[in-house]
Amino acid sequence: MSMRSELYIDGQWVTPSGEETIEVVNPATEDLAGQVPAAQKADVDRAVLAAGLALPAWSETPVAERREYLRLIHQGLVERSEEIALTITAEVGMPIKLSRQIQARLPATIMGSYLSLIDDYPFSETIGNSLIVKEPVGVAACITPWNYPLHQIVAKLAPALAAGCTVVVKPSELAPLSAYLLAEIVHAAALPAGVFNLVTGYGETAGAALAGHSGVDLVSFTGSLRAGRRIAEQASASIKRVSLELGGKSASLILEDADLAAAVKGTVGSCFLNSGQTCSALTRMLVPEALYGDAAALAVECAKSFALGDPMSDKTRLGPLVSAAQRERVLHYLQQGVLEKAELLTGGADLASCPERGFFVPPTVFGRVAPEMTIAREEIFGPVLCIMPYRDLDHAVAIANGTEYGLAAAVWSADGAKALQVAKRLRAGQVDINGAPFNPLAPFGGFKQSGRGRELGKYGLEEFLEVKSIQSRQP
């Protein structure tokens, strides 16, 4: 159990201004996993002030020195990877085997990717009689979600520090414990005081205070579409830059010549990863009408292999949802799918097969889902797959592009050139072909209401940079 009573501000652990606390619940056991302070506006003001005072010196720190701090933080993430995995499994419920591979390893990978990137990045260039320089935006507020809690922080923190920005992090109140491990790693790296600050609290208090703060120059937010809209509204008063990575309803488009078994297995695996609590999850599987029966049978067989269980067991493939409220949300969608006449092929709202304790729901597959159905349009954020048959390729592309989201997609085909042509027609920020592996240097972000801006690689770095042109009179 991780009981925290302090915030990390200006290079030290400090007592919060109020006495309110937040209990963090283990979603698999419903027991207390930890406790953190609920920061108030005064705490946010203190953190932003510290970041603002630290900005001039940090922004002028040579790139090589900033890189060394990143290296030390990367080293700390690697050394404490097992503790990170155990902590995130306790607060989120991802099975421990996956937490080790994803929740702990991915943040270290992302931090490490910026070590080589900033060595070669051109922070200035000459165009004619102009010197073009890229400078840090300033104080960055990083407001992050609970599903990949440490990864989402590091995906913002690494480029922000590399760019020369100072940072105030506000993690989700549902999963804030791993952020404390990061703060300890940052402190051990002796990062200058005020460059990194951590405030834990609720979105409507600490999050709102950060988003609307006049001392914040940029807000980088990852979360729901509803919360993203609110963040953008709060930030608009001071015309600060806002980067948003929001929801998704990603389509997996299986062409008639694809390896059907591999495509279905890959789609189901993506859909059920982290119990479906992944913004880029492939939750809509589009198949040719002629292959619908075979695809549905394969999906059901695959879904049944995702046995629910104790996330601390290496044998468990599917853990709980993060909270009781999230379980109720998913159950509502399961009931809505049946009400709107989608074919329930496996799973559903009956919890008889679930463990008695914990926020579990069965892995679910709906068949013959029509584009106008609620479960085809709205982000469920649970282990729920919608199979949608299509007539021809144009029909498939129309279905894939027919939601308000545009975060990710997939195409499966034996013909690589054809798959690439289809991928270019999809209105999504990231498209995988035939189960291609994740690339930490490729830009991640969405079209339409999946957000604006990009994370990872040089594109993530540029979110934290301003461009200035300096003209000189030629002799």
Tokens of 387: 């199979």
The answer to whether residue 249 scores a pLDDT higher than 80 is yes
Q: From residue 31, give the alpha-carbon distance in Å to each of 86, 146, 248, 321, 470.
A: 15, 18, 31, 14, 58
On whether the CB atoms of residues 44 and 208 are closer than 8 A, the answer is no
Specify the pairing of strand 282-288 against strand 7-9.
unpaired
Percentage of residues in the chain having pLDDT higher than 90: 98
- How does pLDDT run across 3-25, given as a tens digit for each residue? 999 999 999 999 999 999 999 99
Tokens of 440: 């930490």
Q: Return the residue matching tokens 């999050």.
A: 207
- How does pLDDT run across 385-429, given as a tens digit for each residue? 999 999 999 999 999 999 999 999 999 999 999 999 999 999 999
Q: Please state the rounded mean pLDDT for residues 48-56.
A: 98
The answer to whether residue 475 scores a pLDDT higher than 90 is no
On whether the CB atoms of residues 82 and 100 are closer than 8 A, the answer is yes
Specify the pairing of strand 241-245 against strand 343-346.
unpaired
Please choose, from the candidates 281, 264, 285, the residue with its C-alpha nearest in 3D space to the C-alpha of residue 273: 281
Residues 7, 180: Cα–Cα separation, whole Å: 9
| φ, ψ for residue 291, nearest 5 deg | -100, 5
* Burial tier of 241 (Cβ tally within 10 Å: 0-12, 13-18, 19+): middle
Q: Return the residue matching tokens 């002796």.
A: 190
The answer to whether residue 474 scores a pLDDT higher than 80 is no
Residues 320, 382: Cα–Cα separation, whole Å: 9
Q: Could you give all domains of the chain from N- to C-terminal order, each with its CATH number?
A: 2-246+449-470 (3.40.605.10), 250-440 (3.40.309.10)
354 is catalytic: no
**30 contacts: CB under 8 Å, gap ≥ 6:** 357, 358, 359
Torsion of CA 389, 434, 408, 424, to 10 degrees: -90
- How does pLDDT run across 189-227, given as a tens digit for each residue? 999 999 999 999 999 999 999 999 999 999 999 999 999
Exposed e or buried b per residue across 408-431, where buried means at least 16 C-beta atoms within 10 angstroms of its C-beta: bbbbbbeeeeebeebbebbbbbbb
- pTM score, two decimals? 0.96
**129 contacts: CB under 8 Å, gap ≥ 6:** 471, 472, 473, 474
Please choose, from the candidates 96, 74, 76, 93, the residue with its C-alpha nearest in 3D space to the C-alpha of residue 85: 96
245 is catalytic: yes
Residues 57, 472: Cα–Cα separation, whole Å: 27
Residues 19, 145, 334: CA angle, nearest 5 degrees: 115
> Which of 245, 379, 455, 463 is labelled catalytic?
245
Residues 170, 51: Cα–Cα separation, whole Å: 14
Predicted pLDDT at 38: 98
Eight-state DSSP code of residue 382? S
Residues 182, 153: Cα–Cα separation, whole Å: 9
Strand-pairing partners, residue 169, are 142, 198
Q: What is the pLDDT confidence band of residue 1, given thresholds at 50, 70 and 90?
A: confident
Residues 57, 12: Cα–Cα separation, whole Å: 18
Q: What is the pLDDT confidence band of residue 136, given thresholds at 50, 70 and 90?
A: very high
- How does pLDDT run across 326-377, given as a tens digit for each residue? 999 999 999 999 999 999 999 999 999 999 999 999 999 999 999 999 999 9
Predicted pLDDT at 193: 98
Tokens of 319: 């853990």
On whether the CB atoms of residues 160 and 195 are closer than 8 A, the answer is no
> Which of 165, 279, 302, 386 is labelled catalytic?
279
On whether the CB atoms of residues 269 and 306 are closer than 8 A, the answer is no
Predicted pLDDT at 108: 98
| φ, ψ for residue 362, nearest 5 deg | -70, 145
